Amino acid sequence: MISVRLKKLDPAAVIPTYGSAAAAGADLYALCDALLTIPAGETVLVHTGIAVEIPDGYVGLIYARSGLATKQGLAPANKVGVIDSDYRGELMVALHNQSNQTRTVSSGDRIAQLVIAPYLRVEFEPCDDLSDTQRGAGGFGSTGSK
């Protein structure tokens, strides 16, 4: 297990928590002064009141909470947020209302989940040809019948 330093930017901020012993993502909690209203089809930036120090070689990935997305239609607007290890600002979630009804978020609501993962940084090497594979350049449904 690695340690990730966390700074509460507001005393009311909630430290992320894991829902189970095997959960990959830690729940992020909304921090707002009043009820946030998110009209159908709109996006609202939701504060968490926390900042983190992600270790070098790791990235923070913000994903939707499956229950919130399927039951309320609320999910991050950019689908997956990327937090680089050199970012020290507040974690915020651009929460998009995919439903056809106005939704609300209260302070303390679980709004997304944070996964900390290792990544590889690569050097891109320009070339004239790539190796051949059975798939080749086939994309977007090329490997299945549906």
Q: pTM for the whole thing? A: 0.89
Over range 17-41, report the average pLDDT: 97
Residue 40 has pLDDT above 90, yes or no: yes
Alpha helix segments (H runs only) across the chain: 66-72
Q: b or e along 17-44 (b: 16 or more beta carbons within 10 Å of the residue's beta carbon)?
A: eeeeeeeebbbbbbbbeeebebeeeebb
* Positive/negative CA dihedral, 36, 41, 45, 46: positive
Domain 5-118 homologous superfamily, CATH: Deoxyuridine triphosphatase (dUTPase) (2.70.40.10)
How many C-beta atoms lie closer than 10 Å to residue 89's C-beta?
A: 9
Q: b or e along 47-56 (b: 16 or more beta carbons within 10 Å of the residue's beta carbon)?
A: bbbbbbebee
Over range 49-59, report the average pLDDT: 97
pLDDT digits (tens, 9 = 90+) for 82-104: 999 999 999 999 999 999 999 99
Q: Given this model, what pLDDT does residue 137 score?
A: 84
The domain locations on the chain are 5-118
Residue 138 has pLDDT above 90, yes or no: no
pLDDT digits (tens, 9 = 90+) for 19-28: 999 999 999 9
